Structure 1
Amino acid sequence: MLLEWTLGSWLLLLDWLIRLAALLWIPARTTPGAARSWLLLVGFVPLLGLPLYLLFGHPWLSGERLRRQAEASQVIREEQALQSALRWQPDADTTVAEMVPLVERQGDFMPVHGNALDLLTGYDDSLAHLIADIDQAEERVHLLYYLMFDDAVGDAIVEALQRAAARGVQCRLLLDAVGAKRGLRAYRKRLLARDVDVRAMLPGGLRWRRSGRMDLRNHRKIAVIDNKVGYIGSQNLADASFVRGRPNRELVARLRGPAVAHLEAVFASDWYMETGQRLDVMADVPVCSEDVATQLLPSGPAYPFSNARDAVNAMIHLARRRIVLVTPYFVPDEATLSALRIAALSGVDVQLIVSATSNARLTAWAQEAYYDELLRSGVRIALYEPHFLHAKHLSVDEDIALLGSINLDIRSFALNAEIGLLCYDRTIVRQLLDIEEDYLRQSRPLELSQWRKRATWRRSREGIARLADALM
């Protein structure tokens, strides 16, 4: 009996020590919203909450990866200093002039002119362009993707890489270890046997401690061919119908011009981070007559700041007339939610377009928890119905466009390595606005009066999901 009482006393003491340690430790290392959720979990179940926090509570990377990213950033800045003629200068006292220095200081890349950009909205069309460019490659092909499946699309990409390697082209394929697990398992040995260098990014298993927190992922989608043509956008290397019954709708930009060298520098940074091999890729790229001004924005836990979140929030605050946000996953942090609310209440036309169908149930429930507050603030929400809308982009007035791999959720803002391309060209912004208008024509507007009629159990589900999502 005494032994049982003593054991119980020790467990009670440990229980309260964990709570006290969590109260001192978690708020100093976690965002306020996430800290509240973690403290609540640890407060209820300390012996479970503490191990979970140590595994998933803070987006840490290994010191070696942080060092390599810092080295890569330094090289990128030094190389750009030698290319000052390519720097694009925005007009003073404009929203763009306020945006450019933030993006450059956080993401390393200066804005460059002399680019050509094609917006590709057709899933098969963008894939056909990519394969055609790989088939024209003469020197090197660099692909970095979050997801690759062993399906018809994966087969087509693999065959194109094999054809290129057979011509003597240096081919490198960098895939996220978790998102592209199927593709790595199906194609890695086959590609290595054909002289295509294949690497897994952020490996898990017993090696995860050499990478970082085990659920950190590389969510980028990048392709660069011969440092002449680049691709950036939302589309993975998988069949459009991997969400059953709702084929994906994507947006991909095909780039030519100096921005391609910047895109390849991001690939080289990730390659160096994963392999320790340095690639010499920052070569001069001829300017294009279209003269589109762009600026690249990489982000992720390897950077000192939350680059993607800060850029999105800055765009929201800079909007004067209208901002359109397109995302498949909308789970904002408090700063982004506040920015949207303030913009709408200030008279800015804030339009959020999300997919009516989702492939992530918990995220969809958490997303719905924000609708009431947004609608009350005057934010217009449209539910796109024909496809799973996987495209990710923003447009501010007719001045700025942002597209790439960045979702408007906590995971993209804090946990994933992401890539975005800012366009400061009114012709491109208008093209993006036309695409967004096409979404709206095929969407159902969400009305506050109707939304408030949803069942009580749905409201409870949304609240629990929002709390769980905040733990990230």
Structure 2
Amino acid sequence: MSLISALSWPLLYLVSEWAIRLLMLVIIPFRRSPEAAKGWLLFFFFLPWPALFLYVLIGRPNYPRWRRDRFARMPQVLKPARNKIRDVTAQQLPDLPGNLVQAATLIEKLGQFPSLGGNRAELLPDYAGTIDRIVADIDRARSHVHLLFYIFADDRSGRAVIEALVRAVDRGVACRVLIDALGSRAWAPRVIAALEASGVAVHLVLPVNLLRRRSARADLRNHRKIAVIDGEIGYAGSQNIVNADFNPRVTNQELVVRVTGPIVLELQAVFVADWFLETEEVLDAMALFPEPRSTGTIVAQVLPSGPDYPEAGVERLVEALVHGARRRVVITTPYFIPNEALLHALETAVLRGVDVHLVLSRPVDQILVSLAQKSYYAELLEAGVRIHLYRDKLLHAKHLTIDNRVSLIGSSNIDMRSFTLNSEVSLVLFDREFNAHLREEQERYFAASDTVDPETWRRRSLASKTVENIARMLSPLL
């Protein structure tokens, strides 16, 4: 009898593994990209039970029901803000050629914000200088300060911002701060204690605690970086509130844009929405959305994206812009794991005669992502895409330019995490002069980069190619 039992347990385990595999052949392909489906099915084929455990935890990019219910109330919560934005005389369609004219319409359909004119934008490539500018603007705040950052540390950079917020509260300025629970986990207790002790309203975004009924999933994060001061000044881009060398292995190079004008109202609306999702507090729209004044000539638009916006993936916009390009595409990102649609769009753009550049970072902070990223180089190089590897720092900046007419800068990487799992925000600017400034920054990247030679890349070792392609198969899960 014991022998039969000994034989039956291995058989039962084997049957259970095949039952899981066959079941997932039916479940996995539903509402999932072919790339993601292949990654999950491969995982299930080799390790059915571990894959099932991971799938239960993170298999679907959906927030808990309580958060989805709260998001369903968002149209009513944001109605006063949207009405204010739509009533401003700054609504203006960008002056674009026919091949790009639908970009603004696409952004509005995805994110529900119209394009607004009368804005001014300034690029901030200096890391410490960006922190100094944010601090200076907080010190001039009269009404309110809103900060939303994936990482908020209590190091030198973070303390400078904390001290500015304390001074603002002492002047009677309302200060509200949102920080991602996972991104800021190393510093959050100290940052929150310092801010709360000074009267700053601060909340952790998407806290993870398996013992709590409303715990968030660890892989669904708020990756946005937004600062809004008095509803008149806004910041967006790639930089967090943390020292550039917070990771001992690398030093970050970032790019942020400081904006004034009506477009700040759209950044404000993104913050107000996230504040409601975390606190269920409806902020006073009349106090936070002042009548905008024109400060420049730039037409701009904000696109929020993430699991809360199932139709608002930033990848749709990037793909559409690349398909619309006629002369030049430059994409800068630290993490490049494209879906098939974007990969084909880039290759097709080259075939149409478009000059396509991809600016990536030679120093890396995520080894597996870097390996998966390298697996795409051969195909891109063969198609004619030029790949530049920034030498000295981790180029963490995230932006692109299309035909010297459209610029996109924000928090989103070109990978499945930013496309599907993270809450991101992108600022799109339709302006030749701003595009020229961003192009100057890109040229500096080119000068500080090594261009990947197609022939040299082809000659790399078989072992390297094998490891990279194994990582690529797992890329939909990264």
Give the alignment's TM-score, normalised by structure 1.
0.96
Contact 1:29 1:58 in 2 (8 A): no
TM-superposed deviation, 1:211: 5.2
Do 1:103 and 1:307's aligned partners in 2 also have CA atoms closer than 8 Å? no
User: Structure 1 residue 219: deviation in Å?
Assistant: 0.5
Instruction: Determine the C-alpha separation between the residues in 2 that align with 1:284 and 1:186.
Output: 33
- Distance in 1 (alpha carbons) for counterparts of 2:88 and 2:100: 19
Check the 8 A contact 2:301/2:427 in 1, yes or no.
Answer: yes
Alignment of 1:205-244 (within 5 A): 205-206=209-210, 210=214, 212-244=216-248
| Residue equivalent to 2:310 | 304
Secondary structure, aligned partner of 2:426:
strand
Q: Secondary structure of the equivalent of 2:272?
A: helix
Give 3-state SS (helix, strand or coil) of 2:330's partner: strand
TM-score normalised to the size of structure 2? 0.95
What are the ranges of 5 or more consecutive residues in structure 2 without an aligned counterpart? Answer: none
Q: 1:178 aligns with which of 163, 178, 182?
A: 182
User: AA paired with 1:11?
Assistant: Y
* Alignment pair present for 1:330 and 2:336: yes
Classify 1:446/1:308 alpha carbon distance in 2 versus 1 (closer, same or farther; 3 Å).
same
From the superposition, tell whether residues 443 and 82 of structure 1 become closer, same or farther in structure 2 (CA, over 3 Å): closer
**8 Å contact from structure 1 (residues 134, 164) kept in 2:** yes
Matched, 1:251 2:248: no
* Cα deviations by residue, 1:86-130 (Å, 9 ceiling, x for unpaired): 211234752442101111011111000111111111111111110
Q: Which amino acid aligns with 2:45?
A: G
The aligned residue for residue 409 of structure 1 is: 415
SS in 2 for 1:86: coil
Which residue of structure 2 lines up, in the alignment, with residue 110 of structure 1? 114
Does the 8 Å CA contact 1:96/1:424 hold for their aligned counterparts? no
CA shift, 1:248, in A, is: 1.7
Task: Provide, for residues 252-302 of structure 1, a one-character-per-residue CA deviation record: whole Å limited to 9, x for no partner.
Answer: 111111111110110111111111111124623432241210000110011
Match of 1:125 among 129, 142, 145: 129
For 1:39, which of 13, 38, 41 is the aligned residue?
41
Q: Deviations over 1:194-218 (max 9, x none)?
A: 1111111011122676354321111
User: In the alignment, is residue 274 of structure 1 matched against residue 274 of structure 2?
Assistant: no
Question: SS where residue 404 of structure 2 aligns?
Answer: coil
The aligned amino acid for 1:117 is A
**Which amino acid is 1:170 matched to?**
A
Question: SS of 1:330's equivalent?
Answer: coil
Q: Separation in 2 of the partners of 1:188 and 1:81?
A: 32
1:455 to 447, 457, 461: 461
Q: How is 1:311-390 mapped onto 2 (pairs within 5 angstroms)?
A: 311-390=317-396
Q: Secondary structure at the match of 2:23?
A: helix
Contact 1:146–1:179 (8 Å) recurs in 2: yes
Distance 1:179 1:245, change over 3 A: closer
Q: Distance in 1 between matches of 2:264 and 2:409?
A: 15
Deviation at 1:239, TM superposition (A): 0.6
**Per-residue deviation at 1:245?**
6.1
Counterpart pick for 1:163 among 167, 175, 188 = 167
Distance 1:120 1:13 in 2: 59
Q: Which residue of 1 aligns with 2:25?
A: 23
Q: Is the 8 A contact 1:95 1:318 kept in 2?
A: yes
User: How far 1:334 moved relative to its partner?
Assistant: 1.2
Query: After alignment, is 47-56 or 87-96 more displaced?
Result: 87-96
Match of 1:150 in 2: 154
SS in 2 for 1:302: coil
Distance 1:76 1:320 in 2: 37
Structure 2 SS opposite 1:236 = coil
Deviates more, 1:334-343 or 1:315-324: 334-343
Q: Distance in 1 between matches of 2:359 and 2:35?
A: 25
Segment drifting more, 249-258 vs 79-88: 79-88
The answer to whether the 8 Å contact 1:65/1:211 transfers is: no
SS in 1 for 2:441: helix
Q: Cα offset for 1:242? A: 2.3
- Residues 111 and 304 in structure 2, CA contact (< 8 A), matched pair in contact too: yes
Could you say what secondary structure the match of 2:154 adopts? Answer: coil
CA distance in 2, matches of 1:99, 1:92: 9
Aligned to 2:104: 100
Pair 1:284–1:315, CA change in 2 (3 A): same
- The equivalences for 1:432-451 within 5 A come to 432-451=438-457
Q: 2:156 and 2:430 mapped to 1: Cα distance?
A: 36
Contact 1:327-1:353 within 8 A present in 2 as well? yes
CA distance in 1: counterparts of 2:91 and 2:122, whole angstroms: 21
Aligned AA (1:38): W
Structure 1 regions of 5+ residues with no counterpart? none
Matches of 1:63 and 1:55, distance apart in 2: 15
Q: Assess, with a 3 A threshold, how the Cα gap between structure 1 residues 349 and 82 changes in structure 2: closer, same or farther.
A: closer
- Structure 2 counterpart of 1:305, one-letter code: E
Inter-partner Cα distance in structure 2 for 1:410 and 1:96 = 25
Task: Give the 3 Å change call, closer, same or farther, for CA 208–265 of structure 1 in structure 2.
Answer: farther
Paired AA for residue 283 in structure 2: L
Residue 474 of structure 2: aligned partner: 468
Equivalent residue for 1:13?
A: 15
CA RMSD of aligned residues (A): 1.8
**SS across alignment from 1:359:** coil
Report the secondary structure of 2:168's partner residue: helix
Between the aligned partners of 1:74 and 1:338, the Cα distance in structure 2 is 39
Contact 1:251 1:392 in 2 (8 A): yes
- The CA distance in 2 between the partners of 1:306 and 1:261, in whole Å, is 19
* 1:67 Cα deviation from its structure 2 partner: 3.1
- Alpha-carbon distance between aligned partners in 1 of 2:36 and 2:305, rounded to the nearest angstrom: 20
SS of 2:300's partner is strand
Residues 93 and 23 (structure 1), Cα distance of their counterparts in 2 relative to 1, 3 Å cut: same
Q: Does the 8 Å contact 2:77/2:282 carry over to 1?
A: no
Q: Structure 2 CA distance, aligned partners of 1:287 and 1:312?
A: 30
* Structure 1 contact 208–214 (Cα < 8 Å) conserved: no
Distance 1:278 1:293, change over 3 A: same
Is the 8 Å Cα contact of residues 148 and 236 (structure 1) preserved in structure 2?
yes
